[in-house]
């Protein structure tokens, strides 16, 4: 499906095509690699068949990418990072299998290789495509799909520019003893960079895995950058995956997260999305249920301040019977920030006995802040239980007064009440250290705000 | 400690307090009684700093400072505590976490460092024991699902941990059975010292069987119309408020 073209978006598209040519000219002898053939296919698709969305596109009604497409993006330069540099971004006291991406490229030197001891495959996709094996068999299917079939132009863009993405395979039956922490660091300086991390994760039958993705900026550079990330997960029969995406990018970051999940029979996918940073944030999260008996739980927290724009799009495709999905997104929008939630659920004709529940609750705390919440249930089966609800509210003034009467400053009382609003979700974060860290990040963000951001309370 | 002079206050244009004069010294317990609608709760709110009350005349001096210039949280940090008649439920904030925030806010104001997690827990548990509150309540959301008596006990617990200079108890006894009443009174009596003071606002005399006041004042139509010692409370219990109303109308007739 070709999207409508506007002069703005064409301009952005042409800049990426030009950037690809520069990149290709610098490749010398590596052009014939399998991976590069796919990249070329992706950029050709972008030049011929597909364009970036405009607000006339229903799924992008509340989010404009015109500003995102403006800067003269460059591929990120190679940078040297020491282990000490990433230390502040680790979960202190938590044992993990650490995989580090710097500017979208997997950095083997900074990553731990203990995962391999458990027969977990961690391989760079480009290298894996050079030889017959599991990586090639799995990755080539997805890469070709992203280059040729997807309607998501940002996934096509990621496919064209991704370098050193990784493929992770958790073998059948393995209950992993510690989380896999995929640490994504942006380290850009002078030029606006387009950062394109790519991950394909397969959870084997009866395996149990926790994946924590974090996205942060190392420097406090004021230069714009654009993180355009793709994560694919395949949950085989009876697999259980807990997937955290904690985004605290720099204030000049554009961030588009494309996460696609495929769930096989009786598998359980639990997603925890936390969005604190970034200038414009868009999460495209979709779960395609490919057999019956699955559970899908999507939880999200978003906190928008200043001029932040945070857009969560979720899509659950119930195509088989006896599947459960449950969504709860909660967020707080202040200042001139904007929030968007669009939860699409399709229950197809054969998906009898589906349970699909969705809730989105927001606090909108200033006159110039706004929240657009749109549940979108399309139900074609007749024996299902589905519900959705959205609320937009403010802080309880009596509670605020009560806390102040005990000595808390207004700012502190507001922070405590905001935190309390999100407790319903932070309590669900099953790893205590992660939960505590997220809570601290929330408090830090709340306490940064000037007192004037709660003008509706005056 | 507290000097109230000719205090007039109104809410939404309606005059509630019509010239209150009251002086409270350290070490004293003052009971303020009066029929419904006499302005008792308004006085408590005005002292605590609730928004929405307009002070049309008069002054309130607390420890040498102009109290009316301080915001509600500044007053709390300066050592004024109001026990609420209707404590608020706050889902998502545990009682222990709430107490931690309040204790540290006041300590910070006093130039003290935050208590460590262990010290904090020990301190809170000690005070919880004093008001006979089971530790299980500490991990529950503040006041959520608490019975009336439990909420009032929680108010006294907050008072105990904050150890204020001046506590204003706003009908803390309302809705309490006799056992809960004793626990609340016992909490107050344990906190009573030479350097702090209490204003106990109540509709009934029975609380004053357990908290012995040094002074009893009767509030009527927004004014203190009679003051006395604890015997005044007993007389009110016996005779009700009508004789006072009559006294006043007699006075105004002349």
Q: Closest partner residue to B102 among A401, A406, A417, by Cβ?
A: A406
pLDDT (0 to 100) of residue A23 = 87
**Would you say how long chain B is, in residues?**
254
pLDDT (0 to 100) of residue A340 = 98
The alpha-carbon gap from A390 to the nearest alpha carbon of chain B, in Å, equals 19
Chain B contact for A401 (CB, 8 A cutoff): yes
- Structure tokens, B162: 């904050």
How far, in Å, CA of A435 to CA of A274, rounded?
11
DSSP B218: E
Contact residues, A window 291-350, toward B, CB-based 8 Å cutoff: none
Mean pLDDT (whole number) for B88-107 = 94
DSSP A371-388: EEEEEEEEE--SS-EEEE
pLDDT < 50 positions in chain A = 1-3, 5, 452-453, 455, 457-458
Nearest chain B alpha carbon to A421: B92
How far, in Å, CA of A370 to CA of B194, rounded?
54
Mean pLDDT (whole number) for B110-125 = 93
CB A182 within 8 Å of CB A214: yes
Cα B53–chain centre separation:
17
How far, in Å, CA of B206 to CA of B248, rounded?
25
- Using alpha carbons, list the distances in angstroms from residue A152 to A1, A149, A230: 10, 9, 11
CB hemisphere CA count around B144 (13 angstroms): 14
How far, in Å, CA of A272 to CA of A177, rounded?
20
How far, in Å, CA of A447 to CA of A455, rounded?
16
Chain B contact for A408 (CB, 8 A cutoff): yes
Whose tokens are 């992203």? That residue is A146
DSSP A110-154: TS--GGGGGT-EEEEHHHHTTSSSHHHHHHHHHHHHHHHT-S-HH
pLDDT (0 to 100) of residue A343 = 96
pLDDT (0 to 100) of residue B53 = 94
Partner-chain contact B101 A403, CB within 8 Å: yes
Cβ-based contacts of A421 with chain B (< 8 Å): 92
Partner-chain contact A420 B49, CB within 8 Å: no
Q: Closest partner residue to B48 among A399, A405, A423, by Cβ?
A: A405
How crowded is residue A296: how many other Cβ atoms within 10 Å of its Cβ?
Answer: 26
Beta strands B215-220 and B29-33, pairing class:
parallel
- Structure tokens, A171: 């073998």
Partner-chain contact A402 B90, CB within 8 Å: yes
β-sheet bridge partners, residue A343:
A314, A375
The alpha-carbon gap from A447 to the nearest alpha carbon of chain B, in Å, equals 14
Chain B contact for A421 (CB, 8 A cutoff): yes
Query: pTM of the full predicted structure?
Result: 0.90
Cβ-based contacts of A423 with chain B (< 8 Å): 92-93
The string of pLDDT tens digits covering residues B161-202 is 999 999 999 988 888 888 888 888 998 999 999 999 999 999
Beta strands B29-33 and B197-201, pairing class:
parallel
How far, in Å, CA of A377 to CA of A429, rounded?
27
Partner-chain contact A405 B49, CB within 8 Å: yes
- Structure tokens, B187: 């909490």
pLDDT (0 to 100) of residue A451 = 52
Q: Which of A244, A247, A212 is nearest to A228 (CA)?
A: A247
Between chain A and chain B, the number of residue pairs with CB atoms below 8 A apart is 71
How far, in Å, CA of A316 to CA of A379, rounded?
12
Partner-chain contact A408 B101, CB within 8 Å: yes
Whether residue B251 has pLDDT greater than 80: no
Beta strands B2-11 and B14-24, pairing class:
antiparallel
Confidence of residue B246 (pLDDT cuts 50, 70, 90): confident
Chain B contact for A363 (CB, 8 A cutoff): no
Cβ-based contacts of B73 with chain A (< 8 Å): 404-405, 407-410, 413
Q: Which of A360, A372, A365 is nearest to A397 (CA)?
A: A365
The string of pLDDT tens digits covering residues B14-31 is 999 999 999 999 999 999
Mean pLDDT (whole number) for B195-218 = 93
pLDDT (0 to 100) of residue A12 = 87
End-to-end alpha-carbon separation of chain B, Å? 36
SS3 B205: coil
């Amino acid at each position: 499906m070709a999207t409508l073209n506007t002069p703005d978006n064409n301009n952005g598209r042409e800049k990426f095509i030009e950037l690809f040519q520069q990149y290709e000219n610098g490749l010398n002898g590596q052009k014939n690699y399998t991976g590069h053939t796919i990249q070329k296919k992706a950029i050709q698709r972008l030049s011929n068949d597909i364009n970036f969305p405009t607000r006339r596109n229903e799924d992008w009604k509340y989010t404009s990418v015109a500003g995102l497409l403006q800067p003269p993006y460059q591929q990120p330069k190679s940078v040297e990072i020491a282990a000490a540099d990433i230390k502040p971004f680790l979960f202190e006291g938590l044992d993990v299998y650490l995989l580090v991406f710097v500017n979208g490229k997997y950095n083997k030197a900074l990553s731990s290789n203990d995962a391999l001891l458990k027969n977990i495959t961690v391989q760079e996709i480009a290298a894996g495509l050079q030889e017959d094996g599991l990586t090639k068999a799995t990755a080539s299917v997805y890469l070709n799909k992203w280059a040729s079939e997807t309607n998501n132009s940002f996934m096509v863009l990621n496919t064209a520019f991704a370098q050193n993405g990784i493929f992770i395979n958790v073998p059948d039956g393995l209950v992993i003893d510690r989380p896999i922490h995929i640490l994504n660091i942006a380290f850009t300086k002078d030029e606006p960079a387009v950062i394109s991390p790519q991950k394909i994760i397969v959870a084997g039958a009866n395996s149990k895995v926790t994946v924590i993705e974090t996205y942060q900026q190392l420097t406090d550079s004021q230069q714009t950058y654009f993180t355009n990330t793709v994560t694919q997960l395949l949950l085989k029969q009876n697999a259980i995956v807990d997937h955290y995406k904690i985004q605290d990018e720099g204030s000049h970051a554009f961030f588009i997260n494309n996460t696609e999940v495929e769930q096989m029979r009786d598998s359980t996918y639990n997603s925890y999305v936390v969005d604190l940073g970034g200038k414009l944030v868009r999460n495209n999260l979709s779960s395609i249920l490919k057999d019956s008996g699955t559970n899908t739980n999507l939880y999200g927290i978003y906190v928008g301040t200043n001029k932040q724009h945070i857009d969560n799009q979720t899509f659950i495709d119930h195509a088989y019977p006896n599947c459960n999905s449950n969504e709860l997104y909660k967020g707080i929008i202040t200042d001139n920030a904007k929030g968007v939630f669009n939860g699409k659920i399709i229950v197809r004709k054969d998906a009898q006995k589906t349970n699909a529940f969705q809730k989105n609750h927001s606090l909108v705390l200033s006159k110039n802040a706004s929240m657009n919440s749109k549940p979108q249930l399309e139900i074609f089966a007749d024996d299902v239980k589905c519900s959705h609800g959205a609320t937009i509210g403010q802080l309880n003034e009596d509670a605020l007064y009560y806390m102040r009467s005990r000595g808390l400053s207004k700012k502190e009382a507001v922070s405590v009440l905001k935190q309390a609003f999100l407790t319903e979700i932070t309590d669900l974060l099953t790893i205590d250290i992660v939960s505590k860290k997220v809570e601290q990040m929330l408090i830090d963000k709340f306490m940064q705000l000037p007192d004037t951001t709660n003008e509706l309370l005056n | 400690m507290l000097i109230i002079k000719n205090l007039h206050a109104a809410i939404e244009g309606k005059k509630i307090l019509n010239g209150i004069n009251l002086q409270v010294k350290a070490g004293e317990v003052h009971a303020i009684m009066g029929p419904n609608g006499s302005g008792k709760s308004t006085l408590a709110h005005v002292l605590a700093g609730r928004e929405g009350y307009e002070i049309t005349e008069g002054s309130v001096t607390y420890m040498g400072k102009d109290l009316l210039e301080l915001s509600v949280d500044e007053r709390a940090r300066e050592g004024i505590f109001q026990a609420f008649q209707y404590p608020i439920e706050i889902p998502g904030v545990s009682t222990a976490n709430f107490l931690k925030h309040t204790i540290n806010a006041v300590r910070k104001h006093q130039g003290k460092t935050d208590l460590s997690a262990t010290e904090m827990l020990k301190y809170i548990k000690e005070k919880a024991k004093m008001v006979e509150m089971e530790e299980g309540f500490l991990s529950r959301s503040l006041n959520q699902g608490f019975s009336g008596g439990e909420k009032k006990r929680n108010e006294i617990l907050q008072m105990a941990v904050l150890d204020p200079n001046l506590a204003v108890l706003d009908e803390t006894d309302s809705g309490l059975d006799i056992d809960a009443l004793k626990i609340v009174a016992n909490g107050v009596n344990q906190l009573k010292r030479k350097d702090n003071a209490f204003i106990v606002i109540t509709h009934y005399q029975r609380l004053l069987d357990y908290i012995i006041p040094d002074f009893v004042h009767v509030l009527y139509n927004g004014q203190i119309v009679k003051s006395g010692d604890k015997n005044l409370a007993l007389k009110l219990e016996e005779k009700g408020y009508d004789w006072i109303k009559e006294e006043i109308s007699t006075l105004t007739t002349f």
